[in-house]
Amino acid sequence: MKKIMIIGLATGLLAISSCSTSVVPLTGRKVSTFGVNAADLEQQAAQGYSQLLSDPKTKVVSSNSTETQRVKRIGANIQAAVTQYMNANGYGEQIKNYKWEFNLIESPEVNAWCMPGGKVAVYTGILKITKDDAGLATVMGHEIAHAIAQHSVERASDMLKAQLLGTAVGTATSGKSESTQAIVNQLYGVGAQGLYVLPNSRKQELEADKMGLSFMAMAGYNPQNAIGFWQRMAAASEGSQKPPVFLSTHPTDESRIAQIQRDLPEAMKYYKGK
């Protein structure tokens, strides 16, 4: 009875605490977040981004002026297209405080990301896979889509809810034996990660793919080229050890490419060429 009461109390707190609902541009998905302020995340992201770029010990900013300018040019094109779309479709308020930055990071890691607020980083290691402007626009459109969809806010909200429920479970079993607590904690951990947090991340990845296709198209980059990029990415990862798809934060290469092919007709509506 005590366990039921505490978990019920935690669920009630989630229901009555600070919640907000928003709609993801382009996909129309409704998202409810709990206890997380998007403006706070944007401020923290800006501070972290500035520290990363200015740290004299790491010297992460690439000295390759040609590739750096390419990243900034493509980023600016996508930024302009996204801003125009957001303002024209009633989403301008969501990005009014974005202070966009695009930088190339000197690292062999195959990676890129966009922080809340429009802070974008592309790693030099991914350029061997992007190959051309369209490939780079695929990556940057995808990462910018994560920020536009406020996936960081959604993930932070999910983690907060998971922590609160986890605390409730821990309190409910505090009077039990150590073995009982260990079993419950293990079941909770696997359940939260495998059944809630990670599938949500895979959902966000596919949503960013879909939005990114349209964003690159709006900016004048043919979204059909995205398939080639993801095929090259899949080939580059062949032979590497991957976690089982059920416990992976990313969709399989095959499912991702198949979904992109299904999303292409919609994205092509925004492509006017250059």
Whether 66 is in a domain gets the answer: yes
Q: What is the distance between the terminal CA atoms of the chain, rounded to a whole angstrom?
A: 66
Is 247 domain-assigned? yes
- Of 42, 101, 143, 205, which residue is the catalytic one? 143
215 domain-assigned: yes
Q: Under DSSP, is residue 12 helix (H, G, I), strand (E, B) or coil?
A: helix
Q: Is residue 44 part of a domain?
A: yes
> Is 67 designated active site?
no
pLDDT tens, the chain, 274 aa long: 333 333 333 333 333 346 788 899 999 999 988 777 888 888 888 889 998 898 887 779 999 999 999 999 999 999 999 999 999 999 999 999 999 999 999 999 999 999 999 999 999 999 999 999 999 999 999 999 999 999 988 888 877 777 766 555 455 545 555 554 454 454 445 454 555 456 668 899 999 999 999 999 999 999 999 999 999 999 988 867 666 665 667 788 899 999 999 999 999 999 987 5
Q: How far from 238 is each of 126, 225, 233, 235, 269, CA to CA, in Å? A: 15, 21, 9, 5, 33
Distance CA 144, CA 147 (A): 5
Residue 127 forms part of a structural domain: yes
Q: Which of 194, 196, 208, 203 is CA-nearest to residue 244?
A: 194
Tell me the pTM.
Answer: 0.82
Residue position matching structure tokens 């398939």: 227
Range of the domain at 70: 35-154+196-268
Number of compact structural domains in the chain: 1
Does 218 map to a domain? Answer: yes
262 lies in a domain? yes
Q: Does any domain span residue 175?
A: no
Beta strand 19-23 with 119-123 is unpaired
